[in-house]
Amino acid sequence: GGKDSMLMNKPIYIGCDDSGFAAKQSIINYFNEKGIEYVDCGSDDTPSRYPYYAAKVASAVSVGTADKGILICGSGIGMSIAANKYKGVRAALVSDSYSAYLTRRHNDSNVLCLGGCTSGRWTILEILDIWLNTDYDGGHHDKSLELIAELESCNFSGECWCPEEKPYPDFEWDPAQKL
């Protein structure tokens, strides 16, 4: 498996907050080395709010502009919570290679969430490589994804939150609250 995963017609959308910036740069280097097209949705190392960047990536996947997305914050938890608020997004927080494999094989995850402060560079790149090169199994897993789609159609109104500009003023982090 994996040949179908790498034959993507659409670029991968990638976003982070300041805590995920270094990891994002490593992933972008990986993309450049492998010739994988991507759209960098920000941020940089300036203090930022993860929901804004999660919206940029998850909304692209939700409306079909992207087939896959990658989000990185300090732990990956906030990004995964925000991304899963979008219809059609199956965001998975992954911190080990076996989970990367399973979330593609069994859940057809389309957004990979990573912890820039909780996973090392080599672990992140291994997870990414496995996630990108593992295909969805289908079969008995299809019914679960159909049920998720059914609950989404009941629960979502159809509007998609993705502000053009960041919806918060510049700020500095309280060092006591860093990971």
Tens of pLDDT, residue by residue over 36-87, are 999 999 999 999 999 999 999 999 999 999 999 999 999 999 999 999 999 9
Residue 38: phi and psi, rounded to 5, are -150, 160
What is the chain's Cα-based Rg? 16
Instruction: Say what the pLDDT of residue 3 is.
Output: 43
Longest dimension (CA), the chain: 49
Residues designated catalytic: 73, 106
Share the mean pLDDT of the chain: 92
Instruction: Say what the pLDDT of residue 8 is.
Output: 55
Tell me the pLDDT band of 2, cut-offs 50, 70 and 90: very low
Is 63 in contact with 110 (CB distance < 8 Å)?
A: no
Q: Which residues face 128 on adjacent strands?
A: none
Rounded mean pLDDT of 107-135? 98
- The whole-angstrom separation of Cα 74 and Cα 90 is 20
| Pairwise pLDDT comparison (163 vs 36), residue with the higher score | 36
Instruction: Say what the pLDDT of residue 174 is.
Output: 84
Rounded mean pLDDT of 115-119? 97
Q: Hey, what amino acid is at 72?
A: I
Residues belonging to the chain = 179
- The whole-angstrom separation of Cα 46 and Cα 57 is 19
Residue 35, classified by CB atoms within 10 Å of its CB into exposed (0-12), middle (13-18) or buried (19+), is: exposed
The predicted-structure confidence for 4-37, as pLDDT tens digits, reads as follows 444 558 999 999 999 999 999 999 999 999 999 9
Q: Report the candidate in 78, 70, 69, 17 with the shortest Cα–Cα distance to residue 44.
A: 17
Tell me the pLDDT band of 112, cut-offs 50, 70 and 90: very high
Q: What are the structure tokens assigned to 41, written together?
A: 């949705």
Would strands 111-115 and 12-16 be described as parallel, antiparallel, or unpaired? unpaired
Q: Hey, what amino acid is at 144?
A: S
